Structures are given as C-alpha cells and as structure tokens.
Amino acid sequence: MSRKDVTDPSGKVVMQVVEYNGVFFSVSYMGNIVEQLKQLKDMIFRDSDVCVISYPKSGTHWCYEVVCMLRNNSSEYHDTMPPLIELFPVEKLQQVSDGVYVSHLTPQHMPNNFMARKCKLINIYRNPKDLAVSYFNFVKKTKPGELMKDMEFDVFFDMYWRGQLCRCPWTKYVKAWTNFEEENPSHPILNLCYEDMKKDLKAHVKKIADFLKLETSDELISEIANACEFKAMSDYKNRNIPAVLSIVTDVKDEHVFYRKGEAGEWKNWLKVAQSEAVDTAVEAAKIPLEIKYT
C-alpha cells in the first residue's frame, strides 16, 4: 500500500489517496483501508445476507432502500447510512440485523466468508456518462473532494475517466464483476440497470423480491415502489439527514447522496469528444451488459 497526492494538470493537489492492489481509496475517510479489508476477510456472515454492489453514484442508496424495505416487510424509510462494508467498522457491521449491506469493492476485495457462502449479490449499474456527472457534483461536497471545489468539469472528467481519482476506472470495475459472474455461475447475482429501474420501478421491486425468494404481497410491492420513486424518497431524506453523514461531508442542510436522480443529464455536460471517449472505452471493454444512454 502506498499513499500519494493526486494532482491536476496544473500540478495542484486535488485528492489524497492510498493505493491498494491497483485501487485508489480516499485517505480522508478510508486511510487505513488495508486494516479494514484484513478485518473484513475474517468477518463471518450468514447465508441469508445480501450485498448491493455498485460503482459509486450508480443508485446504491436507492437500491439499498428497496432491498431493506423488502427484507423488513415494510415501506418505511431507513434513517441511517447504508452499511458500506469497506467503511464501517467490523463491530458495527456485525450489528446489522437485517443482513443487508452495500459495497463498491471489486470481487478481489470482498470478504472471504461472504463470497464462500455464496451470499446473494445485487449489482446495480448505470450509464457511465450520467455517472460521471453525478459523481462530479457529489464529490465536491464531500471531505475527500475538499480540494476539488473549484475544479472544472472538463478537468474532472479526464481525471475521473482515466481512473486517476478514487476507485478504479468504471470499465475496470464493471468488467471485474461480469468476469466474476462468468467464472462463478453458481453464485447468485442479480444485475439491475438503473435506467430500466427508473422506467418501471414496481417491476424491479418485484424482480428483487423474487431474487431474494420473499413472499411479498402486490400491495407492499406497490407501496415500496411509490415510496422509492426518486422525488418522494429525496424529499424524505433531505428532511431527515442522519448524523453519521458527517463521516462523508460537512454539508448539513442537504442529504448529499440525493441530487436529481435523472437519466440522460449527461447530454447537458459532456462534449462530443468526451461522449465518444466513453463509447470507445465501453466498446473496448466488451462489457456483457446493456448500457442505456437514453
């Protein structure tokens, strides 16, 4: 593991990260990521546990809310941050009663016991062009993005798409999981497209319930779908901001994980060359998922 300063083209330090096995993690709230991942490797899970996996800003919180409601047989919102396994202390993770976790880790870093038990994985993926716009607007409000507040989108896009900031490039992350799925056909994984969920949330709530083998009434599925429509959920979340969010941000007057939730916003941000760069990279990666740019 090595710590490094990430600099923009002008030489200004814009983020501090630690590199571990080819992946960048933010120093500001994941500084001791190696110790955390080591502890995760030894954590014991239950066969019934499930993890929502995604690249950051792909609809993680949204999907987590749906899964939690289904597992708890209720359309009530949750007022805490989703238990991100690479961030929460193991002793806190062991207190998660409903067994629903989230992660942005690649397969190589996932907890050994979780994977050995073949616990269920729900992978939500999003059009990477919208994802770049969402991440740009999000990260500048976070502690890891403190030094990026004045960064222009064009500079951010180049650094982000080349994998110079946190995590690894989007194509590498998605490909790691699709390769895992291909190599481990018996591991239960449900792939969900963000854009498809936006079009028909109720059908996807039912799909998740079926995947989790839950006997859920049509009435509850409708209630969950209505509660998790973006505007309704965003309005609630912005009125009920959990104190634990201070781990991620100093912003107190809004829930920074909920902005617009739109599909197709990239058309107002990306230049033609940037859009084409994404197309080329996605095509070269040969990702066996249908990416919908809308």
Instruction: List, edge to edge, every strand of the sheet that includes 50-53.
Output: 100-103, 50-53, 120-125, 189-193
Give every CB contact of residue 47 below 8 A, 6+ residues apart in sequence.
117, 119
- Percent of the chain beyond pLDDT 70? 88
Q: What is the pTM of this model?
A: 0.90
Helix-helix angle 201-211:218-227, to 10 degrees: 120
DSSP string, 71-122: HTT------S---BTTTS-HHHHTT-TT-EEEE---GGGS-HHHHHTT-EEE
List, for residues 218-232, the tens digit of each pLDDT value: 999 999 999 998 888
Structure tokens at 21: 């096995």
Structure tokens at 180: 């895992």
List, for residues 43-59, the tens digit of each pLDDT value: 999 999 999 999 988 99
Q: Estimate to the nearest angstrom the gap between the alpha carbon of 67 and the chain centroid.
A: 14
* Residue spans of beta strands (DSSP E) within 21-83: 23-26, 50-53
List, for residues 68-103, the tens digit of each pLDDT value: 999 999 999 887 888 999 888 899 999 998 999 999
